[in-house]
Amino acid sequence: MNIKNVVVIGSGTMGSGIAAQLCNANVPVTLLDLKTEISEKAKKKIFESRPPLLIDKSKIDNIKVGNIEDNFDLVSKADWIVEAVVERIDIKHNLYEKITKVRKSSSIISSNTSTIPLKVLSEKMSAEDKKDFCITHFFNPVRYMGLLEIVSEELNNIKKINFLKTFCEENLGKGVIICKDTPGFLGNRVGVYAMQVAMTEAIKMDLSIEEADAIFGRPMGVPKTGVFGLYDLIGIDLMADVLKSFIKELPTSDVFHEVAKEIPLVKNLIETRYTGRKGKGGFYRMNKEGGKKILEAINLSTKEYFPAKKIDLDISEKVNLKELVSRNDKYGKYAWSVISKIILYASSLIPSVTKDYNNIDEAMRLGFNWTRGPFEMLEELGVKFFVEKDNQVQPNDFIKKIYEKKTDSFYGKRQIYTNLETLGKVKQIAKVQKENKSAFTYEYKDFKIVEFNTKANTLDYDSMDALKRASDKNLIIINEGMQFSAGVNLNYVMEFAKEKNWKAIEKFIYHFQMTCKQLKYSNNLVVAAPSGLALGGGFEVLVQSDYVVAHTNIVTGLVETIVGLIPAGGGTKQMLWRWMQDEKANKDPDFAPQKVFDIIGYGKTANSPVEAMPLKFLLEKDKSIMNRNKLLSVAENLINEKKNGYKPPQEPIFKLSGNQVMDKMLQTLENLFKEKKIMEHGIEVGKKLAFVLSGGNTTIDKELSEDDMYALELEAFIQLIQMEKTQARIKHTLLTGKPLVN
Ligand code: NAI
C-alpha cells in the first residue's frame, strides 16, 4: 500500500485541519464538501488561519477543492479517504455507502468521529470493506496537537492499519496511539472526565472559576486555560454534545455519569448563546468599557460577570504535587479531590480500555498538553501516600495491586506507542545530573543532552552554566516540554533591575555571551533541536549552535525590542554576520546592517522553518522535522555524520561603516515616528540597535572582532535596561503577556 493521494470529505474545522497537514507533508489532497463554495471557503480559512495551519503558505494550491456530487470520481482514485463530516450517523452511513461503491480495493477509509463507535460506523459495510475501515481521531488544531488515535478492531487488515500508523507518524508527524473501540478512546475518556471533575468539584467546593483555573492549570501540569478557560476555547455547546454521547455510550455503572450530569448554568449559557470564545463569551468574556477591554469572569452562583481576579496561590515556580495536595487550605483540598478522582478513574480503565497505562499518560500529553498524565502523577505522589492519605480513596484493583507490592516505583517504560528513540525514552536510561536548578544534563552514549526545565524554559545564569559544562562533549539541546525557550527570564533580570544592581545584569549577559561563544568554538559539535517557542535568548542559543534540527511547528526569532531591549547574547552580531554572507552585502556594506535592523527592530518571528529560512533564522545546513519524537535521533545521526574531523568555525571579522549606516537607520526611525508607527521609546531602542549594527564608533576600513561586537551588544543592553520605559515595557509584558507601546 502507498498513500500518494488523499480525499478528505467534510471541509469544516477538522477536515480543513487534516487537509492542511497533508499539504504540509507534500501529499496531494482534495477537500470535498456538499458544495464547492464551502470547501473553497475552507481553503481561504486555512490560508488565513492564526496560528497558521500551513507550514508554507505558498503551497496552498496543493489543496484541491470540490463537491461530493461532481467530483466524487476522485474518491475512486484515492489511497486514503478521510471522512470528517458532521457527527451524524445517518449522514456518515450514506457517505460510506457511496465511498465503498467506488473506492479501489487497495485504499483505506477512516472516520474522524470523536464519539461514534467503530462498530456502529461500519455496521452497514460488507466484511471486505470493514477490513479497510478504521477511525483516525485527530485533535484540533491538527497541525499543533500531537495526538492521533487510530481505533481499529480485530477484523481490520492489520498490515494496512500499521502502514497508516507509520504514515501518520512519519509524514504527518503525529504521536499515533492505537486504541480499542471504547467510548472516547483514550484521550477524551480521561481528558473530558478530568475537565468534568475539575468543574463539578469547583462548584461543589464553592471556588471561583479563576481559583479553579489557577489550580487546575500550571500547578497540576495542565495548560493555563485550566478547565473553564478550556471549556470556552473548545465551545460550551460542543462539550455538551460530547457529554451526551458519553452518557449514551457508557454503562450506568461508570462513574463518568456522576460528573456528566447537565449543569443548569451551562445549559443557560448555551441557551443565551454564551458558547465560549466563538460566541458572545462563556465562563469568561471580554467586556469593552470606556474603550478599554476588560476580562470578566462569571460568578458560578449569581451568574453575573465581574472583572476577572488574578489568583495568587503563593506557590514557587516548580510545583511539588505532594505539597500541593497536602495544603491545608481550600486550594489544597480542591487539588487533592480533583487529582485523586482522575487517578482513580484512569486506573479503573486498566485493563479493559487499555492494558498500557502508559498510553493514557501519553495521550494526555499529546492531546491535552498536560506535562504529566495521571499515572505519572501517581508515581510522583507515591502509591503509599495516595492510598493512605486520609484514607478517603477506595483503591481499585490496579491501585491495590501496586500498593500491595510495596514498591516505590511501578512505572516502567515510557512512550511505548512508538518505535522511535524519543527523548522521553532516553531520559529514563541516560545518566542524569539534576543539581542545576534550571536545566538537566543527561549523558547518553558518547554525547550529552541539555534540557532546560524552568517555566517556559526561560534562561538564567544556571541555564548557561549547564550548557557551558556540557560542551565538553558533543551536545544536543532539546526539550520535552512545550517550549524550547521563551527567552531570557525577565523576572530574573527585573529582580536585579529593581535593586539597580546593573553589575549583576552585566555579569549574567556576559556569561550568556561567553557560553554561546564556548558552544560555537568548542571542539565538540552542538546541535540545537528546538520545538515550540525558540524566542529571544532561546533563538540566540540555537543561532550559535553548529546545526539546528527544528520541529516544523517552531516559532522563532528575536523579540527583545518589543520589551525595550536588544538581543545581547550574540544574536544581533550573529544575524549581522549571516546577512553579511549574502551576495548583496558584497556590493553594499550597509545592506546587512539595514536588513538586520529591520528584522530585529520589528521583532519579526517565523512560524515554521520554511518561514525562518528567508530571514536567515535557519540556514540550508539545518534540518526541519515533522515528528517531534524524531528530533533526538536526527540530531544524534547528524553528530555521528559530522563528528569525525569536525573543526569549529573561524572567528569572523566585521567591517562596518559606522556613522554612515547609522544615519540611514536614524532616518528610518524618524520616518516611523512621523508615521506614528513607533513612539518615543521606540526611537531610543532603535538607536541602540543602530549603534550595535553600525559597529559603534567605527569606519569601514577598521576591523572589528567578534568580541568587539559582543561588547557593543552588552553596552547597549545595559543602557536600555536602566531606562524607566524599558522597565515599564517589561513589567507590562510580565503582567499581561502583551507588549506595551511607549
Ligand atoms: P464542522 O461542523 O466544522 O464541519 C463539518 C463539515 O461537514 C461542514 O463543512 C459540512 O458542510 C460538511 N458536511 C456535512 N454533510 C456532508 C456530506 N454529506 N458530505 C460532505 N460534507 C458534508 O465539524 P468538525 O468539527 O470539523 O467535525 C467533523 C468530525 O470530526 C465530526 O465527526 C466530529 O465529531 C469530529 N471531531 C471534531 C473535533 C473538533 O474539535 N471540532 C475534534 C475531533 C473530532
Residue 101 is which amino acid?
K
- The CATH number assigned to the domain holding 337 equals 1.10.1040.50
Q: Answer yes or no: do 301 and 370 share one domain.
A: yes
Span from the CA of 173 to the centroid of ligand 1 (angstroms): 22
Please indicate, yes or no, if residue 34 is contained in any of the structural domains. yes
Q: Answer yes or no: do 120 and 193 share one domain.
A: no
Pocket test for ligand 1, best of 21, 40, 86 (most atoms within 8 A of CB): 86
Span from the CA of 11 to the centroid of ligand 1 (angstroms): 7
- The CATH number assigned to the domain holding 634 equals 3.90.226.10
Span from the CA of 84 to the centroid of ligand 1 (angstroms): 5
For residue 549, list its beta bridge partners: 623
Please indicate, yes or no, if residue 590 is contained in any of the structural domains. yes
- Rounded-to-integer distance, Cα 528 and Cα 545, Å: 6
Please indicate, yes or no, if residue 394 is contained in any of the structural domains. no
- Rounded-to-integer distance, Cα 473 and Cα 462, Å: 19
Place of cell 469568561: 284
Span from the CA of 180 to the centroid of ligand 1 (angstroms): 22
Pocket test for ligand 1, best of 14, 32, 75, 233 (most atoms within 8 A of CB): 14
Mean pLDDT of 405-415: 90
Span from the CA of 87 to the centroid of ligand 1 (angstroms): 6
Q: Answer yes or no: do 568 and 712 share one domain.
A: yes
Mean pLDDT of 123-137: 98
Please indicate, yes or no, if residue 391 is contained in any of the structural domains. no
Beta carbon of 127 within 6 Å of any ligand 1 atom? no
Calculate ∠ Cα 659-664-670, nearest 5°. 120
Tell me the CA distances in angstroms from 257 to 193, 199, 244, 659, 708, one per residue in order: 9, 14, 10, 73, 67
Span from the CA of 275 to the centroid of ligand 1 (angstroms): 18
- Could you say which of 130, 150, 179 is where a domain stops? 179
User: What are the φ/ψ torsions at residue 56 (nearest 5 degrees)?
Assistant: -135, 100
Q: What pTM value is reported for the model?
A: 0.95
- Rounded-to-integer distance, Cα 194 and Cα 188, Å: 9
Is residue 314 over pLDDT 90? no
What's the Rg (C-alpha) of the chain? 27
Residue 651 is which amino acid?
E
* 408-424 core/surface letters (b: 16 or more CB in 10 A; e: else): eebbeebbebbebebbb
CB of 392 within 8 A of CB of 241? no
Percentage, residues of the chain above pLDDT 70: 100
Higher pLDDT: 652 or 407? It is 652
Q: Answer yes or no: do 613 and 674 share one domain.
A: no
Q: Answer yes or no: do 487 and 510 share one domain.
A: yes
Give the confidence band of 442 by pLDDT, cuts at 50, 70, 90. Answer: very high
Report the chain's mean pLDDT, rounded to a whole number. 96
Please indicate, yes or no, if residue 406 is contained in any of the structural domains. no
Number of domains in the chain: 4
Give the confidence band of 290 by pLDDT, cuts at 50, 70, 90. Answer: confident
Helix (H) or strand (E) holding 149: strand 147-151
Mean pLDDT of 447-457: 95
Span from the CA of 9 to the centroid of ligand 1 (angstroms): 9
Is residue 408 over pLDDT 80? no
Beta carbon of 109 within 6 Å of any ligand 1 atom? no
Is residue 87 over pLDDT 80? yes
Pocket test for ligand 1, best of 36, 85, 188, 232 (most atoms within 8 A of CB): 85
The answer for residues whose C-beta is within 8 angstroms of residue 266's C-beta and 6 or more apart is: 236, 240
- Could you say which of 179, 199, 226 is where a domain stops? 179
Q: Answer yes or no: do 122 and 249 share one domain.
A: no
Beta carbon of 140 within 6 Å of any ligand 1 atom? yes
Mean pLDDT of 116-124: 97
Span from the CA of 12 to the centroid of ligand 1 (angstroms): 5
Quote the pLDDT of residue 1: 84
Q: Answer yes or no: do 508 and 537 share one domain.
A: yes
Quote the pLDDT of residue 56: 96
Beta carbon of 637 within 6 Å of any ligand 1 atom? no
Quote the pLDDT of residue 30: 98
Name the DSSP letter for residue 214: H
Span from the CA of 290 to the centroid of ligand 1 (angstroms): 40
Quote the pLDDT of residue 392: 81
Is residue 317 over pLDDT 80? no
User: What confidence tens digit (pLDDT) does each residue in 356-394 have?
Assistant: 999 999 999 999 999 999 999 999 999 999 999 988 889
Mean pLDDT of 539-566: 98
Give the confidence band of 69 by pLDDT, cuts at 50, 70, 90. Answer: very high
Closest to 420 in 3D by CA, of 589, 169, 222: 169
Beta carbon of 358 within 6 Å of any ligand 1 atom? no
User: What confidence tens digit (pLDDT) does each residue in 139-181 have?
Assistant: 999 999 999 999 999 999 999 999 999 999 999 999 999 999 9
CB of 186 within 8 A of CB of 177? yes
Mean pLDDT of 483-501: 96
Please indicate, yes or no, if residue 386 is contained in any of the structural domains. no
Quote the pLDDT of residue 289: 82
- The CATH number assigned to the domain holding 119 equals 3.40.50.720
Beta carbon of 716 within 6 Å of any ligand 1 atom? no
Give the confidence band of 111 by pLDDT, cuts at 50, 70, 90. Answer: very high
- Rounded-to-integer distance, Cα 177 and Cα 169, Å: 10
Residue nearest to atom 17 of ligand 1 (CA): 34
Quote the pLDDT of residue 585: 97
CB of 457 within 8 A of CB of 480? no
Q: Answer yes or no: do 539 and 451 share one domain.
A: yes
- Could you say which of 152, 179, 206 is where a domain stops? 179
Is residue 499 over pLDDT 80? yes
Tell me the CA distances in angstroms from 646 to 67, 443, 604, 638, 706, one per residue in order: 56, 20, 33, 12, 21
Is residue 625 over pLDDT 90? yes
Q: Answer yes or no: do 33 and 159 share one domain.
A: yes
Q: Answer yes or no: do 731 and 593 share one domain.
A: yes
Beta carbon of 415 within 6 Å of any ligand 1 atom? no
Beta carbon of 86 within 6 Å of any ligand 1 atom? yes
Domain of residue 246, residue span: 187-381
User: What confidence tens digit (pLDDT) does each residue in 29-47 have?
Assistant: 999 999 999 999 999 999 9
The C-alpha cell at 648 is 569549529
Q: Answer yes or no: do 87 and 105 share one domain.
A: yes
Please indicate, yes or no, if residue 398 is contained in any of the structural domains. no
Q: Answer yes or no: do 107 and 170 share one domain.
A: yes
Mean pLDDT of 70-97: 97
Span from the CA of 95 to the centroid of ligand 1 (angstroms): 13
Quote the pLDDT of residue 316: 74
- Rounded-to-integer distance, Cα 388 and Cα 498, Å: 46
Residue 670 is which amino acid?
E
Mean pLDDT of 641-667: 96
Please indicate, yes or no, if residue 417 is contained in any of the structural domains. no
- Rounded-to-integer distance, Cα 450 and Cα 466, Å: 7
Beta carbon of 36 within 6 Å of any ligand 1 atom? no
